[in-house]
């Protein structure tokens, strides 16, 4: 079957070339590409064939799917989500059971070696029966679907690192996608939930350059995970001035001071929430008065209290963070 290019699809939808160029310019900026690459991006992306995508939801809460489905609509990002051929996602597809599985296998066969595999949720290894789809264990379905995939995008912290299902005592023996599949390119877009724009940007990069973008030591796209929340936090000046809220209702909290002493994990959390934000760009957790929980980091649920300071302020000041490099050294 011949799949239409994005250009054809945009024309059919009445989306102007100018709108598409605007999308390319903002996406290039998000991916830290030079603006001189916008024309190349527009040409390559516009002529890219509609990709087949198989999306496997495993041990998850559907929060990742919700975050994407409820992102701003209609948006520039939706240009890409509308463009992909989502051939399987059993949470949202009309078909169910064996009928849905037939659709998955048909897409795998038809687009062998070319389809992208998206996974959200962790994979239970303790007992395959903890999570099954149409009688098939998650691990079997993952191995079967990954075999002929061009690449895998692990969406959310559960698929990326095991997430909440893996939290102590990990009753299901939950593991990440990359613990099982080791012979395919994998991108982790962690977060609980992840930023939808990060998923769009990775798809755009893949469609344009036929490969995933540069990744950090945890296989996350550097364009979104190269800096900590703290690096770009608007409350950072108060951290530097050592002005901290000590409780959620004290004067410091009312004045919008730094939430570090209330347990903010921003200094050790790599994600773009502080710049991209949530809910149509309204805010992000710190802006709403709550410390960052560090949800895009491995084992965030087991790192001690959410409400205890990470370390003494003086220690941080003596060893300032250096974005992704500090992280790479820590986890590689």
Partner 1 sequence: MTEELIFMTSNTENTGNVTPLLHQIRHALSQLIERQEDTTIDLRRLPLSAGEESQLEAFLGHGEVKADIQALGDTVLIESRFTGVWLETHYNEEAEIMGKYVHICRCPPLIKSQPEDMVLSLNQIVSEIQSLSHTSTDDTAKED
Instruction: List residues binding partner 1 (CB under 8 A).
Output: 7, 11, 15-19, 21-23, 25-26, 28-29, 32, 34-36, 72, 74-76, 226-227, 231-232, 234, 236-237, 240-241, 277, 280-281, 320-325
**DSSP readout, 67-103?**
HHHTS-SS-HHHHHHHHSEEEE-TTT-S--HHHHHHH
In the complex with partner 1, which residue's Cβ is closer, 26 or 85?
Answer: 26
In the complex with partner 1, which residue's Cβ is closer, 162 or 221?
Answer: 221
CB of 32 to partner 1, least distance (A): 6
Relative to beta strand 123-124, strand 132-133 is unpaired
In the complex with partner 1, which residue's Cβ is closer, 25 or 167?
Answer: 25
Cα–Cα distance between 196 and 194 in angstroms, integer?
Answer: 6
Q: How far is CA 278 from the centre of its chain?
A: 13
In the complex with partner 1, which residue's Cβ is closer, 82 or 144?
Answer: 82
CB of 296 to partner 1, least distance (A): 18
156 contacts 190 by C-beta, under 8 angstroms: yes
In the complex with partner 1, which residue's Cβ is closer, 157 or 200?
Answer: 200
Q: How far is CA 216 from the centre of its chain?
A: 13
Q: Which of 225, 211, 215 is nearest to 178 (CA)?
A: 215
CB of 182 to partner 1, least distance (A): 30
CB of 72 to partner 1, least distance (A): 6
Q: Which of 312, 212, 306, 206 is nearest to 265 (CA)?
A: 306
Helix ranges (H only) for the chain are 6-12, 17-30, 38-46, 63-69, 76-83, 97-110, 138-146, 156-161, 177-180, 196-209, 222-225, 236-240, 251-254, 273-276, 313-318, 324-331
CB of 175 to partner 1, least distance (A): 32
CB of 10 to partner 1, least distance (A): 9
In the complex with partner 1, which residue's Cβ is closer, 75 or 134?
Answer: 75
CB of 18 to partner 1, least distance (A): 5
In the complex with partner 1, which residue's Cβ is closer, 53 or 223?
Answer: 223
Encode 48-57: b = buried (16+ Cβ within 10 Å), e = exposed: bbbbbbbbbb
């Amino acid at each position: 079957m011949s799949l239409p290019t994005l250009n054809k699809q945009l024309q059919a939808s009445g989306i102007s070339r100018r709108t598409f160029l605007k999308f390319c310019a903002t996406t290039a900026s998000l991916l830290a590409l030079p603006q001189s690459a916008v024309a190349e991006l527009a040409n390559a992306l516009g002529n890219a064939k509609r990709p087949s995508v198989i999306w496997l939801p495993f041990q998850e809460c559907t929060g990742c799917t919700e975050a994407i489905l409820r992102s701003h609509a209609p948006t520039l990002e939706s240009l890409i989500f509308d463009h992909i051929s989502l051939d399987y996602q059993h949470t949202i597809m009309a078909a169910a059971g064996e009928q849905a599985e037939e659709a998955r296998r048909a897409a795998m066969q038809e687009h062998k070696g070319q389809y992208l595999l998206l996974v959200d949720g962790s994979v239970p290894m303790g007992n395959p029966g903890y999570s099954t789809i149409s009688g098939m264990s998650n691990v079997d379905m993952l191995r079967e679907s990954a075999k002929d995939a061009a690449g895998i995008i692990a969406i959310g912290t559960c698929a990326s690192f095991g997430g909440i299902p893996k939290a102590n005592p990990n009753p299901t023996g939950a593991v990440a996608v990359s613990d099982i599949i080791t012979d395919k390119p994998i991108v982790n877009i962690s977060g609980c939930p992840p930023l939808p724009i990060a998923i769009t940007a990775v798809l755009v990069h893949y469609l344009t350059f036929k490969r995933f973008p540069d990744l950090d030591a945890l296989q996350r796209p550097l364009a979104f995970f190269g800096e900590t929340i703290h690096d770009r936090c608007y409350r950072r000046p108060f951290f530097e001035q050592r002005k901290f809220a000590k409780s959620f209702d004290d004067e410091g909290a009312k004045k919008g001071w730094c939430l570090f002493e209330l347990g903010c994990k921003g200094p050790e959390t790599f994600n773009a929430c502080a710049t991209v934000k949530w809910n149509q760009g309204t805010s992000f957790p710190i802006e709403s008065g709550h410390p960052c929980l560090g949800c895009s980091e491995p084992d965030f649920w087991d790192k001690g209290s959410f409400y205890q300071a990470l370390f003494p302020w003086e220690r941080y000041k003596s060893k300032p963070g250096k974005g992704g490099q500090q992280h790479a050294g820590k986890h590689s």
